[in-house]
């Protein structure tokens, strides 16, 4: 409970003067950020509360999702896509549900694609005993050996 003596005493069933809670939310790129802001504003207004993005996230002034294009006419996606096809790797684009450092690149309009050539491998991301078979690791090096030069040698007009 709240005390007036710097916390030397304690009272049960006393409502604190303020409280703070943090929530890690994942906003789908199909939902405009302005709609998320409005939804949170409405909920908090109804409850007599306020909200804000944690300043450490850098999301205070963002109005759009920072995503990289996977349109077949996009310069970088087409180079990446053709390079993976050239080595026989099928790519299924999806949005990674957690944060990666590439969000900082996309935030300044630099396209970034996460890619890990780990065929025939269980998804063990952050699991106990996370591992990769030796043969899969070596095959991945061969895939990168073909894809990275295609990207590195592509010059934007």
What is the chain's mean pLDDT, rounded? 83
CATH entry 3.40.640.10 includes domain 75-152: no
Distances (CA, A) of 68 to 80, 116, 127, 153: 12, 17, 28, 20
Compute the distance between CA of residue 122 and CA of residue 131 in angstroms, rounded to an integer: 9
pLDDT at 33 over 90: no
User: What digits encode the pLDDT tens for the residues 110-131?
Assistant: 888 888 888 888 888 788 888 8
All structural domains of the chain with their residue ranges: 26-65, 75-152
pLDDT at 99 over 70: no
* pLDDT at residue 111 in the model: 87
Compute the distance between CA of residue 146 and CA of residue 144 in angstroms, rounded to an integer: 5
- Measuring CA to CA, which residue among 88, 150, 144, 155 is closest to residue 115? 144
119 contacts 136 by C-beta, under 8 angstroms = yes
pLDDT at 59 over 80: no
Question: What pTM was estimated for this model as a whole?
Answer: 0.67
């Amino acid at each position: 409970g709240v005390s007036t003596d710097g916390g030397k005493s304690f009272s049960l069933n006393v409502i604190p003067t303020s409280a703070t809670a943090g929530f890690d939310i994942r906003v789908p790129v199909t939902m405009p950020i302005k709609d998320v802001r409005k939804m949170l504003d409405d909920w908090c207004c109804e409850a007599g509360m306020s909200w804000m993005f944690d300043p450490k996230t850098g999301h205070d002034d963002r109005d759009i999702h920072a995503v990289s294009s996977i349109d077949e006419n996009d310069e970088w996606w087409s180079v990446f896509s053709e390079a993976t096809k050239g080595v026989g790797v099928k790519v299924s684009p999806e949005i990674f549900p957690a944060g990666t450092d590439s969000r900082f690149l996309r935030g300044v309009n630099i396209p970034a694609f996460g890619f890990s050539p780990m065929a025939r491998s269980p998804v063990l991301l952050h699991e106990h005993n996370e591992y990769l078979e030796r043969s899969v690791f070596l095959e991945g090096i061969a895939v990168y050996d073909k894809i990275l030069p295609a990207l590195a040698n592509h010059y934007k007009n």
